[in-house]
Amino acid sequence: MATTVAGVHAVPKSESGLWSWITTVDHKRIGVLYGVTALSFFLGGAPNVGWFAYSNLTSSQYSPGHGVDFWAVGLQILGIASLAAAFNFIVTIINLRAPGMKLMRMPPFVWMTLVTSFLIILAFPVITVALVFLLFDRFVGTHFFVPSGGADPLLWQHLFWLFGHPEVYILILPAMGIVSEVLPTFSRKPLFGYPVVVYSGIFIGFMGWGVWSHHMFSVGLGPLADSFFALTTMLIAIPTGVKIFNWLATLWGGKIELKTAMLFALGFIALFTMGGLSGFMHASPPADLQQTDTYFVVAHIHYVLFGGAIMGVFAGIYYWFPKMTGKFLNETLGKIHFWATMISMNLTFFPMHFVGLLGMPRRVYTYSPNMGFDTMNLLSTIGALLLGASVLVFVVNFVNSIRNGKPAGSDPWGGGSLEWAIPSPPPSYNFATIPTVRSLDPLWHKEGREAALAANQVRGPIHMPPSSYWPAVSALGVTLLLSGMVFGWFVGIPGLILMLLGLYSWAFEPVT
């Protein structure tokens, strides 16, 4: 992220330390955080309630132990972190652009980050409230989701999906932004219909709020609600389709270079389109009733989130790794990684469409031998093992390339956006002086390129915001405070004190 908003004033924030981890949008770091979160499995037992944790499976009665508590408290902490990061991005993107960097000259990844940040600040409060109810139910004995107390367990589903559907766009929009940067660079052509790509991203962000109940057709919402949510769900396919055609048109007639980043971006388009098509199928309530809770839905979510978001993230890693580290990722290993991923991904998830339509339910670990699921499941299993192996190829490539990768210059791919004008890895101040931007792809224009390169010359002292430990102290305090809900007051009270100490010291820190 830091590299793509190069040339924009950065707001004071620590580049390292706990706060940077907690507010990170770097997917490597998020991966590590998930690993840490997984520790809770050993501390309190797995939150084995599925990812959408429908009530009343999550009640103390059906989920004793601390698994669900950890899950809920962990999500609250993650929510605070996501909110803090999203506020930061919104203000940075709206208010601290380089001179001449009009909104419609921003790189598409920055645009999609802006839309995503708005989705975060509006969607996370809803899940926060739902989790608060759940925690009250579990700790205090309220009955927000307890049917015997008169409650409607559907409330959880509505609140969850009010968050959950915007959340899937929170996952996919940044990947769409990455692909919109990678494709033009390796096609040597500007992004086709840039404004339309941006507007459809914004439209997806808005429409993402009007479709949540399509996850709940099978609960029987009534014909009016079913028709409404089916209609909005079909509508939201339009801006997504528009983007796909824009990407294809970007490729059309371009001088295409099949580097690994480009391969992943192309893989994204292919797989995400397939995921979109199966998604469109269960936009129709009658079809959805047949598909709900079968492997068909599992196939769909993996085509959009693995084929979509993960392929996009890999494209981004191969694309910006040279900028981040100053070294290339190995292209040969990269291509092996791509093809292994592409083949094994389809091998794993494509058969799920068939077993799903044959009626194999999700979340049930076994089935009787005469159902006709055997061969397909064997293929999926082989595919899953291969998929794991392909990620290992990536890990080897990553570690090797950080150690002794081929040096990459400041502009290894001939990109058009500003980050390619500064050295790799970028100096902490990005540009020494902030260049004036006059076009969408400044480095592909003679005067833009000269201005950006000239902006690297250090002409005097550079003002850098001071680093501070207090944000990290506050973050630790928040984490302990909320963990206190599980462990008890002797963790929570010190957490509260630390948080207040951190916040006050941070607020009254002298500004330089």
- Using CB under 8 A as the criterion, which residues of the chain lie in contact with another protein when the complex forms? 9-12, 83, 87-88, 90-91, 94-97, 99, 101-104, 121-126, 128-130, 132-133, 136, 140-144, 149-152, 154-155, 158-159, 162, 209, 213, 221, 225, 429-430, 432-434, 459-465, 504, 511-512
Of 416, 295, 314, which is closest to residue 354 (Cα–Cα)?
A: 295
CB 175 within 8 A of CB 308: yes
Q: Give min distance, CB of 462 to another protein, in A.
A: 6
Nearer to another protein, 375 or 428 (CB): 428
Q: Give min distance, CB of 154 to another protein, in A.
A: 8
CA–CA dist 181, 316 (Å, integer): 9
Of 281, 265, 249, which is closest to residue 413 (Cα–Cα)?
A: 265
Q: Give min distance, CB of 165 to another protein, in A.
A: 12
Of 466, 467, 480, 470, which is closest to residue 80 (Cα–Cα)?
A: 480
Tokens of 463: 């003002």
Nearer to another protein, 175 or 437 (CB): 437
List own/partner pairs for 359-367 with CB under 8 A and 24 or more apart.
Answer: 359/294, 360/294, 360/295, 361/293, 361/294, 361/295, 362/293, 362/294, 362/295, 362/297, 362/298, 363/50, 363/293
Residue 363 CB neighbours (<10 A): 8
Nearer to another protein, 9 or 188 (CB): 9
CA 112 to chain centre: 11
Using a 10 angstrom Cβ sphere, with 0-12 exposed, 13-18 middle and 19 or more buried, the burial of residue 485 is middle
Nearer to another protein, 141 or 372 (CB): 141
Give the H/E segment covering residue 434: none
CA–CA dist 317, 218 (Å, integer): 39
Q: Give min distance, CB of 342 to another protein, in A.
A: 38
Of 434, 398, 226, which is closest to residue 324 (Cα–Cα)?
A: 398
Query: DSSP string of 286-354?
Result: HHHHHHTTBHHHHHHHHHHIIIIIIHHHHHHHHHHHHHHHSBPPPHHHHHHHHHHHHHHHHHHHHHHHH
CA–CA dist 506, 487 (Å, integer): 27
- Buried b / exposed e across 64-83, counting CB within 10 Å, b at 16+? eebbbbbbbbbbbbbbbbbb
Q: Give min distance, CB of 416 to another protein, in A.
A: 21
Nearer to another protein, 127 or 360 (CB): 127
Nearer to another protein, 94 or 258 (CB): 94
Q: Give min distance, CB of 10 to another protein, in A.
A: 5
Nearer to another protein, 434 or 486 (CB): 434
CA–CA dist 412, 42 (Å, integer): 44
Q: Give min distance, CB of 327 to another protein, in A.
A: 25
CB 417 within 8 A of CB 107: yes
Of 16, 80, 19, which is closest to residue 470 (Cα–Cα)?
A: 19
Max CA separation in the chain (angstroms): 77
CA–CA dist 205, 509 (Å, integer): 37
Nearer to another protein, 160 or 296 (CB): 160
Q: Give min distance, CB of 170 to another protein, in A.
A: 14
CA–CA dist 200, 194 (Å, integer): 10
Q: Give min distance, CB of 432 to another protein, in A.
A: 8
Of 215, 69, 219, which is closest to residue 135 (Cα–Cα)?
A: 69
Q: Is the peptide bond before 56 cis (omega within 30 degrees of 0)?
A: yes
Nearer to another protein, 11 or 371 (CB): 11
Nearer to another protein, 62 or 504 (CB): 504
Q: Give min distance, CB of 429 to another protein, in A.
A: 5
Q: Give min distance, CB of 81 to another protein, in A.
A: 14
Nearer to another protein, 73 or 183 (CB): 73
Q: Give min distance, CB of 508 to another protein, in A.
A: 9
Nearer to another protein, 13 or 189 (CB): 13
